[in-house]
Amino acid sequence: MPPSRRVTNPRRETYQEQNVFAIDKVPSTNTIIADESNFPLTTEPDPTHIVIQNVATVEAQQIIHDDHNIGYAVATPPNACIFALVIGIDNYKNRTIPPLKGCALDAEAFVNFLGDTLHVPSDNIVILFNEEATRAAIIAAFRKHFLDNEGINAGDAMVLFYAGHGDRAVAPRGWVTSNGMIEMICPYDAETTDEHSGKPIYGIPDRTLNSLMRHLAYKKGDNIVAIFDSCHSGGAFRNMRPGPGTPRELGKDVRRYTLPATLDEELMSLSADTEDGSRGATQVISSGFSYPTMRSHVLLAACREDEKARENIVHDGGTEVARGMFTYHLLAYLRRAYEEAHAPPQITYARLMEALLDPENIKLCGASFIGQNPLCEGKNRDRLLFSTSEVAGEATSFPLRYDNRTRTLYVVGGHANGVVEGTEFTVQLALTDQIDGLVRSRDIVLVVKTVYATECVVRHDQITDLSPYVEALKKARAIISTWNSIVMKVRTPTPLPAQAAFKYEKATPKGSGYYDLSLQELSNCRILTRSDPLTFRYAEREMTIPGRSLQPDEILDAVAHWNFHLYRFNDRVGGSQELRPQVGLHLLETASGTGLRPLLSQVGEDLFGSAPAEDVRGCPLSTYTVPVKVKEARIHDLTKYYGLTLINTSAYDLYPYVFYFDPSTYGIQAWYLPPGERVRAPLPRSQGRVPGQLPIGYGAGEADSIRFSLAPGAKREAGFLKIFVSTSYVDMRSLRQNDLVDRERGANKETITIPGGAWDASVYVLTCFEPE
């Protein structure tokens, strides 16, 4: 039986949907028996692919909102509300599934947090406990409380909380995944048969929930968070070290039904092409609750896929009860943060997960958190909790760490980020005055002295002992104020900026002197002439910037940022060319045999496969060089979708980062970023003669698929694909840059390690041609 709850009049309803379920209410209160039948959703366009406009202007079309500029906060409406669907399952209909003891209590505690701390009206909360939480009821509740709820307005937050067993199962034939597995949450009636039809009742796969989330974001906005206190290893990691408490996994002794390839296909067919055919809206559904380009919602998960979410006995109000360790630590921290703050605390989802593992917070919680690394994934992970507002500069700044033993201060950014000796960071510290007790801010400049692959040692020229500032530094972020980059030589009559993040030098006005960029100012526009090697060889050398709204300093900063990251490679001793993955580019088509339109697979030849690897000789006017061989994919069919495949033949698990550099706009878009530092490396190492692979734009990778187009009248255009890899996680989000020309279009479109970390970079060319 569900435990008692302090929330007043919670909504615990049966869900009867026309043309969705045949539901009979039985005498037992709040119990639902449902026959699953087709439950079609409307097919509004869900534009979640990438379209390359004017050829290589990569534009990730958003579900509802355009991507926010990095560092720009969009405020949540002041009257925004929170709506929640809360699920807790301890006991399962299939008696071979091990019972749990703390899931209903976790769900109850979360409901009380919503009501007592956040003051969410009880009418906005729907709860399903134990036998109420059937597969049919969960999906129906999601539809009625979220998708079809006319009370949800733009900016309102939608929260899905689940505590119960999780599982991992073999993917049905045709479901392309990197490891052949899919993840599921387990409803009350999972792995049983329907009493009326006799058909098996399955868990709810990641693809089904992710499809619902994307559709919800399309209809109601992307202020959505999913909180899962369950594990999804499914017994796949047998050598995992045992930990304290009971794991929330289905267990190896439970008989599973084989998932059909057509499971929930109506839920996954939520897309339609636009009428003009040039901007398809084909939805690509992911495998895995966590996936790199998850833009519909933020996921807070109890642990990594190779760990187990556990529940344990804790002392709660003088009583010993079972609680999930993730939920227990999460709510303890949140209550404390809200109680101590005079206003809603400025906590982002990403920082919240970091805070849970802070030793001081674990100590205050009074319960062990051993063996779990909670995850925070999604494009919106830098938003404030239950909000669409972001903390300015979060994605373009770096955390700091202080080594008490050596009294050394590190910035978590290194060679892989472009940091070199002499790079300067600015840090704003909030310091408490010892006399009047007031908090005042102080900016300090830190200079890089020693650089490693993923971090660097910094010092202050005047402050030799930084130990008094340690607590303030823990809460601060470092922003690069000077890159100490290679000098970009500019030919222009305009004065160069005296202080800038990048180095500039004025080239000889006339003659054959070296220059990387020529900036000419006319009455109604500015003309750029580029001499950097890749643009000089593959793209249009001359670029026109209409109007004069952009200042020369802005143009120079954007070009310097673009050039700096495009032309930086690992040229240090021990540079890791062995890490460099092979890259394939293929046409995509709907996989046959499944009937699932969003399920894409690669067909035809690899467009990079037959392309020669060529040296790019530097333009005699430029100081930039390309030290790697470059392949060019020549794209003639502009009506199809495309996907990338990264192939790892090395003995190391890798974190890949894929960026698109557009020479026609100077935009830099992230086509793929790893979900976070706590996930397993997405590009697995080679196993014997079998290389590791990562699909991007299809299959399990599920980054947005790509479609190309040319500007009106253009017959040929090119752009550049820059691929970084590293043996440990690097936050590369700061590379992204908005388009310089069209400012309204967003730029966002280990068991084996190398000591000290390693990274590598390569570059490819994508050239589109007018169809013959």
How do residues 753-766 score in pLDDT, each as one tens digit? Answer: 344 468 888 898 99
Q: pTM of this prediction? A: 0.76
CB 14 within 8 A of CB 23: yes
Place 503 in a pLDDT band, splitting at 50, 70 and 90. very high
Q: Provide the pLDDT for residue 723.
A: 96
Q: Using CA atoms, how far apart are residues 183 and 202, in angstroms rounded to an integer?
A: 12
Give the residue carrying structure tokens 């990095």.
70
For 601, residues 6+ apart whose C-beta sits below 8 A from its C-beta are 176, 588, 589, 590, 591, 698, 699
The residue that leads in pLDDT, 235 or 724, is 724
Beta bridge partners of 658: 672, 723
SS3 299: strand
Residue 561: closest CA among 505, 501, 616, 621: 501
Neighbours of 30 (CB within 10 A): 16
- pLDDT class for 360, splitting at 50, 70, 90? confident
Distance CA 581, CA 413 (A): 23
Pairing relation of β-strands 224-229 and 204-205?
unpaired
Q: Is the pLDDT of residue 191 over 80?
A: yes
Share of the chain above pLDDT 90, in %: 44
Which of 382, 211, 390 shows the shortest CA–CA distance to 298?
Answer: 382
Conformation bin of residue 459: beta by default, left when phi > 0, alpha when psi is -120 to 50:
beta
Report the distance separating Cα 758 and Cα 219, nearest Å.
Answer: 43
Q: What pLDDT score does 243 carry? A: 59
- CA-based angle 629:716:619, to the nearest 5? 40
C-alpha dihedral sign at 671, 673, 674, 675: negative
Residue 104 has pLDDT above 90, yes or no: yes
pLDDT band, residue 31 (cuts 50/70/90): very low
Q: Tell me which of 459 and 754 has the higher pLDDT.
A: 459
Residue 658: pLDDT over 70: yes
Residue 171, pLDDT score: 83
Q: At residue 522, what is the residue type?
A: L
* pLDDT band (50, 70, 90) for residue 178: low
Q: What average pLDDT is seen over the chain?
A: 79
Q: How many other C-beta atoms are found inside a 10 Å radius of the C-beta of residue 444?
A: 19
Task: Output the CA torsion 502→506→539→725 (10° steps).
Answer: -30
Q: How confident is the model at residue 177 (pLDDT cuts 50, 70, 90)?
A: low
What's the pLDDT at 768? 85
Q: If pLDDT is split at 50, 70 and 90, which confidence band does 701 have?
A: very low
Q: Are 648 and 685 in contact (CB under 8 A)?
A: yes
* C-beta of residue 665 within 8 angstroms of C-beta of residue 743: no
> Which band of pLDDT confidence, cut at 50, 70 and 90, is reported for residue 595?
very low
Least confident of 70-84, 497-511, 640-654: 70-84
Query: What is the rounded distance in angstroms from the CA atom of residue 624 to the CA atom of residue 617?
Result: 10
Provide the 10 A C-beta neighbour count for residue 399.
18
In the chain the domains, ranked by start, together with CATH numbers, are: 81-377 (3.40.50.1460), 394-482 (2.40.10), 488-564 (no CATH), 574-769 (no CATH)
Q: For residue range 3-29, what is the model confidence (pLDDT) as tens digits?
A: 333 343 444 444 433 323 222 222 232
Rounded Cα–Cα distance for residues 298 and 224 (Å): 6
Torsion angles phi and psi, residue 589, rounded to 5: -145, 165
**Residues 9 and 124 sit within 8 Å (Cβ to Cβ):** no
Question: pLDDT by residue (tens digit) across 133-165?
Answer: 999 999 999 999 999 999 999 889 999 999 999
